[in-house]
């Protein structure tokens, strides 16, 4: 059961691949049928235990910092279970006393109470119990089934295969706090771990990267710190790594280049810095690469030209220098290419004309110069073209009028000059046209004005000024507004 709809490809991989569980795996539960004193339900901010038989361990720890009330039968079973957990989960080293408020001990006492062992696999229930307590489960928005006697496969966010072995743990957008438990490593059949859009802190535990069947790790939109451990190289089956929108920092590990199974890699919106590892060019199975909104510097690695399966390449808002490699023309499967506000520049390589599948090309806010290549007209898939905030000169190529799928087109804050090509009137799907802060002059063609009767909602140009500067464009019948001087929206009620 998931909090949010899952990626269909990911879902298919989980359900259809018989390798999602170990052939010799069977649930382990030697204590099935043993009944001890049940734990009282959790009551938030209730520290009066006079009417309780066995106050919930989470309450005891919240109120007093230790566990003082444990029925004798629970304690006896706790000693037995501790030995089992010590060997199976902690490799023979576990010395927490029964009064400890460590998440592992709270989970162990919970597992020793009532009939909580009867639902499924003993080890899975213990690890899930640790996860609930360490990640502040009592504060989650939804807790359906958690820490109940139901089989753990029925707990919210836990998915199992046909043998009732957990292979997916997903708690997206559920007010999850705390840090990731290292005990998750013992989930031998786990293929998907997704805890996104929450408040998870701490670092990525090295142990999680050693999970033998892990294919999808999604931790984006949290508050995690540190960096990606070099042990990522041991995640030899990993297909998806999404850790964007966190507080990660430092150099991006070059060991990512050894995870050649990766298809999706997103580390955007963090504080990674210095050079981008050229080893990422070894990830030839990548379909999505997001490095945007970091502090990467240096030049764009030419090694990325090897990523011929790449469809989405997001690199915007970094601190790069140099040019856009012409060898990127080999990335013929690209659909979305964003390198806005990165600092790259020079002339636009005409070799990119072969990227006919590209629907979004955003190079705004860079140091590109020279004339705009006429070959853009060959990139028939384009629907979003942002050339704004560069030093492009010359006229707008008439060939851009061939881009029949265009919806958003921006030449804002460039040095383009001349008149507006009438061929832009062929762009019947256009919704947003930005021509302000340029050196364009003359009259807006009737063909372009006519687009306002279709889908063109935003059409901005410079207001006519001294001499021949600006565009004569009636507001609001043609231009939605014009820009005068430093004013971004100088309305003109006349005919232009």
pLDDT at residue 420 is higher than 60: yes
Could you tell me which residues come within 8 angstroms of residue 211 by beta carbon, excluding any fewer than 6 positions away?
Answer: 184, 185, 187, 188, 190, 193, 235
For 151-163, how does the pLDDT look when each residue is reduced to its tens digit (9 = 90+)?
A: 999 999 999 988 8
**For residue 27, what pLDDT band results from cuts at 50, 70 and 90?**
confident
Determine the average pLDDT of the residues in 154-180. 94
pLDDT value for 23? 55
pLDDT value for 468? 67
**Could you tell me which of 376, 478, 486, 394 has the C-alpha nearest to residue 440?**
394
List the beta bridge partners of residue 440: 418
pLDDT value for 493? 36
pLDDT at residue 52 is higher than 90: no
Q: What percent of the chain has pLDDT over 70?
A: 92
pLDDT value for 9? 43
pLDDT value for 21? 42
**Predicted model pTM:** 0.90
**HSE value, Cβ hemisphere, 13 Å, CA-based, for 270:** 29
pLDDT value for 467? 57
pLDDT value for 6? 38
pLDDT value for 20? 42
pLDDT at residue 462 is higher than 90: yes
Of the two residues 219 and 188, the one the predictor is more confident about is 219
Of the two residues 461 and 7, the one the predictor is more confident about is 461
Kindly report the number of other CB atoms within 10 A of residue 72's CB atom. Answer: 9
Rg of the chain (C-alpha set) = 29
pLDDT value for 10? 42
Element (H, E) at 16: helix 8-16
Q: What is the chain's mean pLDDT, rounded?
A: 91
For 467-490, how does the pLDDT look when each residue is reduced to its tens digit (9 = 90+)?
A: 567 999 999 999 999 987 655 444
Determine the average pLDDT of the residues in 94-101. 95
pLDDT at residue 51 is higher than 90: no
**Could you tell me which of 324, 238, 345, 252 has the C-alpha nearest to residue 291?**
252
pLDDT at residue 119 is higher than 90: no
Q: How far apart (Å, rounded) are the C-alpha atoms in residues 279 and 299?
A: 14
For 259-303, how does the pLDDT look when each residue is reduced to its tens digit (9 = 90+)?
A: 999 999 999 999 999 999 999 999 999 999 999 999 999 999 999
pLDDT value for 26? 77
Determine the average pLDDT of the residues in 14-20. 44
List the beta bridge partners of residue 323: 345
Could you tell me which residues come within 8 angstroms of residue 333 by beta carbon, excluding any fewer than 6 positions away?
Answer: 287, 308, 309, 310, 311, 357
DSSP string, 267-313: --SSEEEEEPPGGGGG-TT-SEEE--SSEEEEPPPGGGGG-TT--EE
Give the length of the chain: 496
């Amino acid at each position: 059961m998931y909090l949010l709809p899952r990626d269909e490809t990911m879902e298919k991989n989980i359900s259809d691949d018989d390798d999602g569980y170990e052939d010799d795996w069977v649930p382990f539960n030697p204590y099935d049928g043993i009944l001890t004193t049940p734990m009282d339900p959790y009551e938030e901010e209730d520290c009066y235990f006079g009417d309780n038989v066995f106050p919930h361990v989470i309450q005891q720890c919240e109120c007093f910092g230790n566990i003082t009330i444990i029925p004798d039968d629970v304690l006896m079973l706790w000693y037995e279970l501790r030995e089992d957990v010590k060997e199976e989960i902690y490799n023979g080293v576990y010395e927490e006393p029964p009064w400890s408020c460590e998440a592992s001990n709270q989970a162990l006492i919970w597992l020793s109470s009532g009939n909580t062992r009867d639902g499924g696999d003993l080890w899975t229930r213990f690890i899930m119990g640790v996860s609930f307590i360490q990640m502040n489960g009592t504060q989650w928005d939804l807790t359906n089934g958690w820490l109940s006697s139901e089989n753990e496969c029925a707990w919210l966010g836990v998915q199992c295969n046909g043998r009732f072995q957990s292979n997916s743990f997903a708690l997206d957008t559920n007010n999850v706090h705390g840090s990731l438990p290292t005990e998750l490593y013992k989930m031998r059949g786990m293929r998907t771990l997704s805890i996104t859009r929450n408040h998870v802190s701490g670092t990525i535990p090295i142990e999680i990267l050693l999970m033998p069947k892990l294919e999808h790790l999604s931790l984006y939109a949290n508050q995690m710190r540190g960096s990606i451990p070099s042990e990522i190289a041991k995640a030899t089956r990993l297909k998806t790594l999404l850790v964007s929108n966190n507080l990660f920092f430092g150099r991006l590990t070059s060991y990512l280049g050894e995870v050649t199974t990766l298809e999706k890699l997103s580390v955007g919106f963090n504080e990674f810095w210095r050079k981008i590892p050229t080893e990422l060019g070894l990830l030839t199975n990548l379909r999505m690469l997001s490095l945007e909104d970091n502090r990467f510097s240096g030049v764009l690695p030419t090694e990325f030209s090897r990523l011929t399966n790449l469809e989405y390449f997001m690199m915007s808002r970094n601190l790069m220098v140099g040019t856009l490699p012409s060898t990127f023309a080999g990335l013929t499967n690209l659909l979305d290419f964003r390198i806005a506000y990165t600092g790259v520049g020079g002339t636009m390589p005409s070799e990119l004309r072969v990227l006919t599948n590209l629907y979004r090309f955003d190079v705004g806010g860079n140091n590109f110069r020279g004339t705009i290549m006429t070959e853009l007209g060959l990139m028939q898939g384009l629907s979003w073209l942002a050339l704004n905030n560069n030093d492009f000169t010359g006229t707008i190529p008439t060939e851009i009028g061939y881009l029949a799928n265009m919806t958003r087109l921006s030449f804002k804050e460039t040095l383009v000059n001349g008149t507006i090509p009438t061929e832009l009137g062929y762009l019947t799907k256009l919704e947003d046209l930005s021509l302000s802060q340029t050196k364009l002059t003359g009259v807006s063609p009737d063909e372009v004005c006519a687009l306002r009767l279709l889908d063109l909602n935003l059409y901005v140009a410079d207001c006519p000024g001294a001499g021949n500067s600006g565009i004569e464009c009636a507001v609001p019948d043609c231009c939605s507004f014009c820009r005068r001087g430093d004013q971004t929206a100088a309305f003109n009620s006349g005919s232009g």
